Structure formats: structure tokens, C-alpha cells
């Protein structure tokens, strides 16, 4: 994803200046947009006494928070350790616009997915982000799997009228997707696909237009609560570290969120990096819609499924690879046979030689043996510090709703 205004090389000043507190004991709200000076050498410099809120992590969640918080009047600085924004989980997923089908009706995953989907579609239409509501079939390939469809249908009905599912017969499935094996299916017309890179780019543009400062290639080295606020040690890649003061911190660091949280929090849940491998299908796509098997009972994943992109290319994935090295982003080629076998359950004519390695990603999960909801909050963190943990699927769809939840928590401080 290309940047929209700030150049790649940026730095912060080396003075730590603690802003004076107002009469209520809180640091005053400062206007970052009035305190940012473009330097003659094309660097961007921040005056320390104008810093208000730091977001750690420049994936889709961090960018959505930057947009929401900057538009609501906060002075926002976002740092991302990589030179490219959204280069971890946010660019290595299925790019599906989820409807909110699979999770407990009272969960944050369901609530924020439903809200986030509506906000994503409105934002995408307003900003020209490409998407397609291509729909999804959840297929029961045997009579024994029909009960799983019943459970999904019941759960979706409990979640609310926003999730509209239709029960399809074998004949109707064949008319839509002749290559797919199914005795029955659930049709979700509200499911789709989105250009995730374009979506993140427009979130960045919107955030910067509202005054946020986006700093790639910056990392948090340490953090200390100063009550109120935080002293944060930041560093530019291959550069010296510098101390800065912020009134509040939003930890949206994805796979690094636990490490970031431990700077100021004692009780931090562990995250488990679960690898998912994707394999492209050569030739014409087997279907023009998304095809999902009924999910595994333990919800480690939704099962290897067929997705298509906006160009009509088809792929299978993600699978579930536990205990993989989270630094190894290449596709695990030895997973091909297992993915092919899983896919042939609903695509019986698929040949092994049609599959080729595409890409892989890691999901930051809070559990692999049970349902685990999004973790949004401060818990034992100092006032003004918000951790976002376990933001896996449907995080992309829910991103703008998660950002509003973060804003609401900050507004209560």
C-alpha cells in the first residue's frame, strides 16, 4: 500500500516536554494539526508539547482508530514498525466482508461485525473503495452436516435481522455453483469481498485529512505511566531512540500487542499466532461466490474455504497450522495435500495440479480450543491505555466499529 502524503523518512524531536495539567488534573487537549511543521528537507517534525494520543500499529485496526479519533478531535500520532502499513495480518487474509454469522449473538465479534460491515460499506462507497457483495454459500456436503447448518441458522436469527440467511436445496446450489457438492446450504447475500489495501489506503487518507500524523518505520521501545499520561521511548528504524509524552495510548499492534501491553500491564492474556496458508487455483474459478464448509466445532478456523478476489481469481485457505514460526511468512508447501483434501470435500473435481502456493498469514488468537472474543479495554492498565488483543477475523469487517468502541472508552476517561 502506497502512502498518501507523508514521505518515508520521518523523525521526532529529542526533547521530552510534559504539557501542563489543567485544573481538573488532566493534560489539556492539544491541536496537533497546528503544531506540525513541514521541514525544508521533506521530513515531518512534531513539537512535543502538541502530542495527545499515540496509536501503536498501522494495520487496518490502527488506521481505523486513527481516522475515528482524529475526526473526533483527538490529536493523533500513529506509529508502525514496518515501512509499509498493513503489511502483516491486514494484508494476509481473505479480504472477506463478513455478515456476523458464526459467533455467539452477545459477543463483541457479532456486534462489531454487524456494525462494522455497515460502516465499511458506507465508507467504501463514499471513498471509492472497490468491493463486491458476491454472497457466500455455507455447504453441508453430507446429511450428517445438516445439523450444523441448523445451528448456524439459529445463531444468526438470534443475532438480529441484519443477518439474513436463506436455506438452499441441493438443486438450487447446483444452479448457482455446479462444481460444488452440497446436500443443503445456507446462502448469505450480505457477505462479500473488499480490496483491503485500498480500504486501508483510504483510512489513512481520511485520518491524515483529519490531522492525524502517520509514521511508518517507528517502533515503541519502552513505555512508563506518569499518571496522568505516558512517557514513551520511540525509535526510527536504524536510528536513535527518543522520549515523548502522550496523554493516552491505543495498543493496536496486532501480533506485537502483548509485548506492547506488558510495558505497563501486569496481567496480559497470551496471544497464539496461528498460521493460515492460501493456495491459488489455476484456470477459471470453480464458483463466482464464496464457498465455506460448515465450521469446526472448536472454532480454530472456519475451515478451508474457497474465496475469490475482485479480479475473479480463486484461492483456497486459510488452513490451520499450529506451532509455526511466526517469522516465516512464506507458504508452507507441505500443507498443499491437506488443503487439497479438505477442499475436495466440497469441490470433488478439483485436481491437485491446479493448486499453487499463494500467500500465508498469521491470526492473533487468544485461544485455539474454545471461543475467544475480541479483547478491547484497559483491564489493569493505567488510565488512558487501551489494549486491543485477539483481533482476528472478523477484524477487517469490524474495524470501523472497533474504532468507535475505542473512541467511546476514551471519551469516558
Q: How far apart are CA 7 and CA 117, in angstroms?
A: 31
**In order of start, what are the domains of the chain with their CATH numbers?**
1-131+193-269+372-413 (3.50.50.60), 136-189+272-365 (3.30.9.10)
Q: Is the pTM value of this prediction over 0.95?
A: no
Q: In this predicted model, what pLDDT tens digit does every residue of 343-374 receive, in sequence order? A: 999 999 999 999 999 999 999 999 988 889 99
What is the model's pLDDT at position 145?
95
Most confident of 24-38, 54-68, 379-393: 54-68
Task: Calculate mean pLDDT across residues 131-141.
Answer: 98
In percent, how much of the chain has pLDDT > 70? 86
Has residue 19 got a pLDDT over 70? no
Q: In this predicted model, what pLDDT tens digit does every residue of 156-209 receive, in sequence order? A: 999 999 999 999 999 999 999 999 999 999 999 999 999 999 999 999 999 999
What rounded mean pLDDT belongs to the chain?
A: 87
pLDDT-derived band of residue 300, with 50, 70 and 90 as boundaries?
low
pLDDT-derived band of residue 298, with 50, 70 and 90 as boundaries?
low
Task: Calculate mean pLDDT across residues 15-34.
Answer: 29
pLDDT-derived band of residue 284, with 50, 70 and 90 as boundaries?
very high
Amino acid at each position: 500500500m502506497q502512502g498518501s502524503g507523508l514521505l518515508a523518512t520521518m523523525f521526532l524531536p529529542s526533547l521530552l516536554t510534559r504539557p501542563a495539567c489543567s485544573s481538573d488534573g488532566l493534560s489539556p487537549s492539544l491541536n496537533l494539526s497546528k503544531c506540525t511543521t513541514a521541514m525544508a528537507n521533506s521530513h515531518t517534525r512534531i513539537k512535543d508539547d502538541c502530542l495527545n494520543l499515540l496509536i501503536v500499529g498501522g494495520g487496518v485496526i490502527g488506521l481505523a482508530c486513527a481516522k475515528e479519533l482524529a475526526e473526533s478531535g483527538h490529536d493523533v500520532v500513529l506509529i508502525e514498525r514496518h515501512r509499509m502499513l498493513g503489511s502483516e495480518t491486514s494484508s494476509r487474509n481473505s479480504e472477506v466482508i463478513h455478515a456476523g454469522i458464526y459467533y455467539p449473538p452477545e459477543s463483541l465479534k457479532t456486534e462489531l461485525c454487524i456494525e462494522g460491515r455497515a460502516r465499511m460499506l458506507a465508507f467504501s462507497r463514499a471513498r471509492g473503495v472497490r468491493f463486491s457483495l458476491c454472497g457466500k454459500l455455507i455447504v453441508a456436503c453430507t446429511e450428517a452436516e445438516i445439523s450444523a447448518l441448523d445451528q448456524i441458522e439459529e445463531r444468526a436469527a438470534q443475532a438480529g435481522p441484519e443477518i439474513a440467511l436463506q436455506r438452499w436445496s441441493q438443486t438450487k446450489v447446483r444452479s448457482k455453483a455446479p462444481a460444488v457438492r452440497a446436500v443443503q446450504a445456507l446462502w448469505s447475500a450480505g457477505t462479500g469481498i473488499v480490496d483491503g489495501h485500498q480500504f486501508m489506503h483510504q483510512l489513512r487518507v481520511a485520518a491524515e485529512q483529519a490531522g492525524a500524523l502517520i509514521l511508518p518505520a517507528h517502533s515503541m521501545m519502552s513505555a512508563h505511566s506518569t499518571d496522568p499520561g505516558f512517557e514513551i521511548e520511540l525509535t526510527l528504524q536504524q536510528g536513535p531512540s527518543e522520549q515523548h509524552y502522550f496523554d493516552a495510548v491505543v495498543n493496536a499492534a496486532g501480533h506485537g500487542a502483548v509485548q506492547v501491553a506488558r510495558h505497563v500491564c501486569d496481567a496480559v492474556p497470551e496471544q497464539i499466532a496461528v498460521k493460515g496458508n492460501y493456495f491459488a487455483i489455476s484456470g477459471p474459478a470453480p464458483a463466482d461466490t464464496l464457498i465455506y464448509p460448515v465450521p469446526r466445532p472448536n472454532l480454530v478456523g472456519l475451515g478451508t474455504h474457497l474465496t475469490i478476489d475482485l479480479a475473479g481469481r480463486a484461492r483456497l485457505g486459510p488452513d490451520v497450522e499450529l506451532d509455526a514460526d511466526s517469522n516465516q511468512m512464506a507458504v508452507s508447501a507441505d500443507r498443499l495435500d491437506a488443503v487439497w483434501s479438505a477442499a475436495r470435500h466440497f469441490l470433488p473435481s478439483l485436481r491437485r495440479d491446479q493448486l499453487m502456493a499463494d500467500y500465508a498469514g498469521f491470526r492473533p488468537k487468544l485461544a485455539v480450543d474454545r471461543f475467544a472474543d475480541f479483547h478491547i479495554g484497559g483491564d489493569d492498565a493505567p488510565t488512558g491505555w487501551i489494549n486491543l488483543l485477539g483481533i482476528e477475523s472478523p477484524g477487517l469487517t469490524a474495524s470501523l466499529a472497533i474504532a468507535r468502541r475505542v473512541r467511546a472508552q476514551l471519551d469516558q476517561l
